[in-house]
Structure formats: structure tokens, C-alpha cells
Amino acid sequence: MDAAPARYDVAIIGAGVNGAGIARDAALRGLRVIILDKNDMCSGCSAISSRLIHGGLRYLEYAEIPLVYESLHERRYLRHNAPHLVTPLRINIPIFSGARRGPWLIRLGMIAYDILSFNKLLPRHEMLNRDQIKEQEPGLRQDGLLAAARYSDAQVAFTERLVLENLLAARAAGAEVKTYCEVREIRTCEGAVDSLVYVDRSGSESEIEVASIVNASGPWVDEVLKTAPSTPKRFVGGTKGSHIIVSPFKGAPKDAFYVEAAADGRPFFIIPWNEQYLIGTTDIRYDESLDNIRASRAEVDYLITETNRVFPEANLGIAEINFAYAGVRPLPYQEKGPESAITRRHIIKMNRKIAKGLISIIGGKLTTYRNLAEQTVDRLAKVLSKKLPNCRTRETLLPGAWGIDRARDLAEASNLLSNKGTERLLSIYGGRAAAIIELAESEPALRETLDDEGHYLAAEVAFVVREEFATTLADIVFRRMMTGFDADQGRSLYNAIASSAAAETGWSSEETQAELQALIDYADSLRVTESAAD
């Protein structure tokens, strides 16, 4: 006789930032939680953002004042709870003659931004005249330059690590985390959620009993709902956003820039990031396949042209792009109207017409994921008829925020890494870097560095396999060690990382070669070439 399926209070579908945040909150409040994703964690929408923790200045144009207020306060909580991942970022807004947004409108927006974040920890805005901004950013276009506004927000260089730390916290609180497990069927009984069926990488099918389901699959929300007994109307009508990443260029700015595009008036960012510059994003309606989305040549040309206009000495072309990434924002379906006017507020949809106990998350921002999670778990308490403890995530540190000073002391005392290697390790793992150093010191084979500069330890590869749900070589390189986002996509380390991973996982030589080829294929897919199709 087959064993009875496992029983959970809630199954969360989608291990992006919203799903991970919900799993953490629900587990901390005592619910029995399982979270599943058909791919690796943070391999969808959450990975394609501009990597900002910000209030959303442009949302003021659409009178989304509550969203800006929420975002600015969530920014403060994240700065406190994940200081190793979320860091301050100074941003300039140049004001040119003939622009849609003139000095008075920009100044008004700045004042509103400061008022809405009245208890913030970051500096207030300042207005710079033409000479002041020219002196500080000499590479900025001078023709038509009137003035500039400067304000502060925050940046999360590696969104992947933010998502991971939420999953680690969820696991520590008792949640079960399953990546590479695709939900194939949502089953109901008497109109209520009863169980779901998923398939793992090996093709093995499993069923689990659930009292509720949260569909946090981002752009795939409608696809997941199709696995339920009845198909609802369309909920998500996403817009595509693309970014390009380039190395420092002539005239490149010291600070981030938020610039109005001449082509369509849409603001976009030019941001110092990971010793490179992240430029984006675009915002176009998208109704094609949600898998393997890539930046189009038209989007790339748009971002290059606008950057060269604002920084005339840049002279960027396709050859200067290190890589690009693209994806779809899971926004509410809206058939007409400008893409930029579609709300970025999240919607917690109770899918009662499909099944009681089924909830879908539509939209939302990276910055506000924690508050979305709190609201969702509050809804779950009502669905499950449970009196749950109050939410604790507003004050609770993420795992890497603990023991950062101790980790630094251990790393420096060990003399295993260069100074730059130590700083890199702390910026990715925070206080958890101590465990990597301790692992290296306890297992001699893991003390070896993977590079001549002393930036990477073999122990790091073992650690992410043992402790951080990494399954494939691409998981390790692009979503754990973050070397995949270096200017060369970490290619010089691929063989060394593969060798360490094989020793840890037991891959055969054939399996290792297959993993290497899959990694190279993925890295190649992010490159932009002259022959790229529109």
C-alpha cells in the first residue's frame, strides 16, 4: 500500500522573491509550508529587475502615492534586515531643455519623495545647478543641460541572494523547499483545494495534500491556474523589460543616473553595478512564450542610443555589451493604455471561483515583497481559520545579517583569501561567510583557491551545494556564487568550479561535461551579437 501523501497548511508555487517571502513569513508564524518551483529559485521575474530597492519615483506621476509610501518604508526595513545585500545608492536626474519633466516638476517630485519617507535613514534630496552637476559628472552631456536633482535610494546588487536568504530563513523555520519540481495538477474536493501533483527532475511524480495554495509564479500565474479543474479569465498581462550590462566607459558617471529617454519620454536607469554599468529598462507589452526570454535587438539599440545621447563620450555599441537579460513583469492584465501606466501595486487574488483556499499573487515590486508576504499570510490565517502570531519579518534579520564582523575577523585571520576576495565573500554571504571559512579550515581539500588572485575558495562551491539548494552548475555560478554576472560571466572559473562541484556531488565525467555545456549555453544565451534577431 502506498504511503499517505504528506499534508501541508500551505503550498507556495514559485520560488521568486514573493514566494520566498511568503514561505518565510508563513513558516515563522507556525504554518506547515512547502514551496516549489519548476526551475531553480529566483530564475524568473525576480532575477530581471533593475536590482533597486526604491520608492518608485515615477509612480508619483500616476498618483500611486500609497505604493510609493509603502515602498519607501519597506526600503528602510530591508536596509536594517539585510545590510550586506541592500546598500545606499545616490541617483542623479539631469534636467535638459525641452524635456517632458521640467525643473519645477522634478523638484516637486523630490519634495514629495522626502515627505513620504519622513523617517528614512538616507540623505534628503538636493538640487544642483548646471555648473555643479558638470563639475561632479563631467562626462554628462552639456548641450541643453539646465540642472540636476540628486536623491538617495538603495540597491540590491544580487537579487538572487535576497531570495535565497528568505528561503534559508523559511527552511530554518520548518518549511520544505523543492526546486526543479513542476506542479502539474491542482486537485480539489467539494470546491476546495485538496492536493497538488508535481514532477521532479527525474520525472518522478508525487502528490501532497494541502489545505491552501498560494500561486506566486509571477508571469506564469495563468499557466499554473490552468492546472486547476476550471480555467479562469486572464489575470496577468505582463510587460517585457530588458537590461544591458557594459564595462566602465569613457565619461561614465560616478553615481547612478535616472534619465528621460528622448525617443519616448520614458525614464530609464544607468547604474554602477558589480564593477560594471547596468542600463535599463524597457517596458513593452508581451504575449509570447514566457520561457527563455531574451532582449531584442530593438531594445538593445534603444538603450545604447539613449545612453550615448546622455554620455556622448561613451560611444557604446553592440561590442561593448558584456551581456543582457530580459523578462516579463507579472502585471495585472490591461488590454489598452500605456504600459507605464499599468499599476505596480500587488493584488492578492482569492480564486474562490476556482477553488476555496487558492490564492494568486498578481504584480508587485521587489521592494515591497515583505509587506506583500505579510498581507498574504494574514489572508491565509482567515482561509485556514487559524489564529496566527503577528508577523515578525519587519524586525527579524535575514540569515546573512547576523555575525558579519565575526565573519570578517575569521576570513582575515585565516589568510585564505585576498582582501578583495574577503570583501566579495562578505558582500554575498554576509555573516554566513564564517561557515565557508570554517569549512575550508576543517577540510584541507577545500582550502584551495579557484583562481590565482585569491578571490574564490573551493569551500564556497561545497557550501552552496550542501547548504543552498544548488543543483546544477548554472545554479552555482549564476545564482549562488554570482560569478556569472562578472564582465566575462565568470568563464575563466568554469572548469575549476565544475571540478569542485563534481567532487562534492559525485558527478561522473560525462555528467560534469554535460553540466559545463549547459552552463556555457546559458551564458551564451545572455550575450548580444551583431547578428541578433529583432
Residues 306, 260: Cα–Cα separation, whole Å:
9
* Spacing of C-alpha 99 from chain mean position: 31
In order of 352, 445, 491, the CA distances from 500 in angstroms are: 49, 10, 15
Amino acid at 111: I
CB count in 10 Å sphere of residue 479: 27
- Torsion on CA atoms 406, 408, 412, 417, rounded to nearest 10: 130
249-266 pLDDT, tens digit per residue, is 999 999 999 999 999 888
Residues 527, 503: Cα–Cα separation, whole Å:
30
In order of 38, 46, 244, 480, the CA distances from 217 in angstroms are: 10, 10, 25, 21
Which of 295, 303, 301 is CA-nearest to residue 257? 303
- Residues of the chain falling short of pLDDT 50: 1, 533-534
For residue 170, what is the DSSP state? H
Which of 2, 329, 9, 19 is CA-nearest to residue 163? 19
> What's residue 5's pLDDT?
61
200-209 pLDDT, tens digit per residue, is 999 999 999 9
Which of 110, 149, 94 is CA-nearest to residue 127? 149
> What's residue 332's pLDDT?
81
Q: What is the CATH number of domain 403-525?
A: 1.10.8
For residue 251, what is the DSSP state? T
Residues 335, 339: Cα–Cα separation, whole Å:
10
CB count in 10 Å sphere of residue 459: 25
What residues does each domain of the chain span? 7-45+160-236+343-383, 89-155+237-329, 403-525
- For every residue of 7-47, DSSP letters joined together read EESEEEE--SHHHHHHHHHHHHTT--EEEE-SSSTT-SGGG
Q: The C-alpha cell of 207 is what?
A: 502528490
> What's residue 1's pLDDT?
37
Please say whether the beta carbons of 137 and 254 come within 8 A: yes
Helix axes 419-429, 404-414, angle to 10 degrees: 150
431-459 pLDDT, tens digit per residue, is 999 999 999 999 999 999 999 999 999 99
Which residues are registered as beta bridge partners of 192? 189, 356
Please say whether the beta carbons of 55 and 116 come within 8 A: yes
> What's residue 289's pLDDT?
78
Residues 67, 74: Cα–Cα separation, whole Å:
10
Question: What is the CATH class of 89-155+237-329?
Answer: alpha beta
For residue 384, what is the DSSP state? T
- Among 3.50.50.60, 3.30.70.120, 3.30.210.10, 3.30.980.10, name the CATH number for the domain at 7-45+160-236+343-383: 3.50.50.60
CA atoms within a 13 Å half-sphere pointing along the CA-CB vector of 201: 8
Its pTM stands at 0.95
Residues 6+ apart with CB under 8 A from 349: 235, 359, 360, 361, 362
In order of 22, 56, 114, 303, the CA distances from 101 in angstroms are: 38, 16, 18, 20
Which of 310, 351, 349, 346 is CA-nearest to residue 330? 346
Regarding beta strands 284-285 and 239-246, do their DSSP bridges make them parallel or antiparallel, or are they unpaired? antiparallel
> What's residue 301's pLDDT?
97
Please say whether the beta carbons of 5 and 207 come within 8 A: yes
